[in-house]
Amino acid sequence: MTTAELRVKLSVIEPTETTYAGITVSDLPALEQLLTDKEEWIAARAVFAASRVGGREATAVLTRAAADPRPPVRVAVAAAVGQRPIVLPDTTLLNLLKDKDVGVRKFAPMAAKPENSTEARALLTRLASDDAVPAVRENAAEALRRIR
């Protein structure tokens, strides 16, 4: 699909799994272009679409999106990876777990996978006990239970 076609496809008011149907690895360049869209919600939808593609190329796109300066895009990465069997590189996961934005930190623990490092587990342990936000503490504790 072209970038314009993907933008239209992802622009539905209430996305469902069928919204993302038919999006494949060949669409990743167009999705990556949508990650720069001025509308944060379109960029976030592109993140969720890339997460459904999966694979090494999609993980690379999500890794780059995790460094986006806009918090809603980083939140989308953390939330999308938490829903899929995608393993982010440790440095990317650690950056999400340390993010200054509470929304990112809230969803980042769910992006942790058993394959991530002991450093990630140590940071989750600290978040579970020390983060100022109860939802972050709860999600970090849940992530630790899930990945052990």
Torsion of CA 109, 115, 120, 122, to 10 degrees: 110
Q: Is the pLDDT of residue 97 over 90?
A: yes
Give residue 58's pLDDT.
97
Average pLDDT over residues 11-34: 94
Instruction: State the average pLDDT for the chain.
Output: 96
State the first-to-last Cα distance of the chain, in angstroms, to the nearest integer. 40
CATH superfamily, domain at 1-86: Leucine-rich Repeat Variant (1.25.10.10)
Structure pTM?
0.94
Q: Where are the domains of the chain?
A: 1-86, 89-148
